[in-house]
Amino acid sequence: MYIIDRRLNPGGKSLANRQRFLRRAKAQIQRAVRQTAGDRDITDLERGGEVTIPADGVREPSFRRSGEGGVNDHILPGNKRFIEGDTVDRPPRGGGGSSAGGDSGEGEDDFRFALTRDEFLDLFLDDLELPDLAKRRVATVETQGMRRAGYTVTGSPVNLALLRSMRNALSRRIAMRRPKPEELLRLQEEIERLEKHEGPSEQLTALHQELEQLKVRTKRFPYIDPLDLRYRRFEPVSRPVAQAVMFCLMDVSGSMTEHMKDLAKRFYMLLYIFLTRRYKHVEIVFIRHTHEAKEVDEETFFNSPETGGTVVSSALREMQRIVEERYSPDSWNIYAAQASDGDNSPNDGSTSASLLRNVILPVCQYYAYLEVGSDSDRMQTGFINHKTSLWQTYETLQEQGANLAMRKVNHRREIYPVFRELFRRRDAEAGARVP
């Protein structure tokens, strides 16, 4: 008898099967993931979890009898009152009763299972992307890199290709018949032996001569020669770089209610998850503003409270400063997402508009503006479409043809659809635009 401890064997033997399954049911799972995501808390989103998909897409059909029609018979245990020939009312369909058809196998109902966090997010973010990331990549953004390109006979010592050099040396030594050290040694020993035992003789002289010759030859053909040396060669190549930076501008002024801040934070968290998971080289800059703007770190951006008046242009200026300082528009794809309740101090409107039109938008690939409203907004406004001052400003810009996307959300459940809309993949459009 053998006892084998398999517990330490790697688990997850079904991983490959699971991937095949996910691939098979991808469309349905994706739909389910989107639906679930709508009802979820943002922190839950990071956790993966259960989804339910209709069983139909992953059905495994086989030839089997249908449950209906024809004569069915059953042997049942637990008779209490029947005798042969009794009749019983047929139990209502689907009701319990004798429920003899209880073994109908896998049900036709929905198929429920759990996704891991990675699977969930991958499916959730699958067809989102930063718009127009390709544009500059093709155009100019390039860095210089080095690439191995064979060997060369000159170079700096650090690049010496040792193996190749020694191989060359070896082949040269063989080709030139350079005497081997063992050969010399053997000859010397022979000479010593002869000298000891027999004294000078003709043979000894001959051996001495031979040894001399070999020594000369050894000297003439060195063990390693500058001729043998090879160096690794590198050549410069230019690599296109898809560098991108996302500016997150959030209004944290007093006019933003808790509800609005919550919406904005959710939006940015989603954006943050999306960027960090989908892109390797995306930098994120967080700017929050009241009447003055400040660049902050992630922690502060999402968590620390602040109040004050509202001057949107301050955030735009801050962004402009950072762009000039760190992110040259020649080599960076620049994106910005702004969230605000739409209030702006009255005298700032034109300043903001001109800043956007002349400075920000020209360097931006894409500018998304998210307006957060209060929960009850829609009911109050009714027919009169109340537009905030910022919305009006931006609308004017948009009408002039600026590359600006604007959306408004009032409720938590609208965040996901709006987010998807702002960052959905635009393959078709892109194709159409290229002449």
Instruction: Using CB under 8 A, list all residues that contact another protein.
Output: 1-7, 9, 11-14, 16-24, 50, 58-67, 69-80, 82-90, 96, 98-100, 102-103, 111-114
C-beta of 98 vs 331, nearer to another protein: 98
Closer of 89 and 325 to another protein (Cβ): 89
Distance CA 398, CA 357 (A): 10
Q: How far is the CB of 34 from another protein (least distance, A)?
A: 19
Residue 12, sorted as left (phi over 0), alpha (psi -120 to 50) or beta, turns out to be left
Structure tokens that stand for 126 in this block: 């699958």
Sheet holding 244-251, edge to edge: 293-296, 282-289, 244-251, 333-340, 364-372, 404-409
Cα separation, 68 vs 201, in Å, equals: 117
We find the least distance from the C-beta atom of residue 250 to another protein, in angstroms, to be: 38
Of 117 and 193, which has the nearer Cβ to another protein? Answer: 117
Integer CA distances (angstroms), 54 to 22, 59, 102, 249, in order = 14, 9, 21, 41
What is the nearest approach in angstroms of another protein to the Cβ of residue 38? 21
Smallest separation, CB 46 to another protein (Å): 18
How is residue 273 written in tokens? 């998850």
For residue 92, the 8-state DSSP code is P
Least gap, CB of 45 to another protein (angstroms): 19
- Closer residue to another protein in complex, CB, 17/43: 17
- Which residues share a beta bridge with 67? none
Among residues 282, 283, 392, 400, which one has the least CA distance to residue 348?
Answer: 392
> How would you class 74 by CB atoms within 10 Å of its CB: exposed for 0-12, middle for 13-18, buried for 19 or more?
exposed
- DSSP bridge partners of 232: 151
Please report which helix (H) or strand (E) contains residue 237, including its range: strand 231-240
Bridge partner residues of 248 (DSSP)? 286, 337
Q: How far is the CB of 116 from another protein (least distance, A)?
A: 10
Tell me whether residue 11 or residue 435 sits nearer to another protein (CB atom): 11
State in angstroms the smallest separation of the CB of 122 from another protein: 16
Shortest CB 178 distance to another protein, Å: 50
Minimal distance, residue 67 CB to another protein, in Å = 8
Between 77 and 401, name the residue whose CB sits nearer to another protein: 77
Whichever of 80 and 197 has its CB closer to another protein, that residue is 80
Structure tokens at 29: 């799972």
Q: Which amino acid is at 80?
A: K
The tokens describing 277, both together, are 């998971």
Nearer to another protein, 18 or 137 (CB): 18
Q: Which is nearer to another protein, 10 or 199 (CB)?
A: 10
> Among candidates 310, 371, 385, which has minimal Cα distance to 340?
371
CA distance 387 to 341: 11
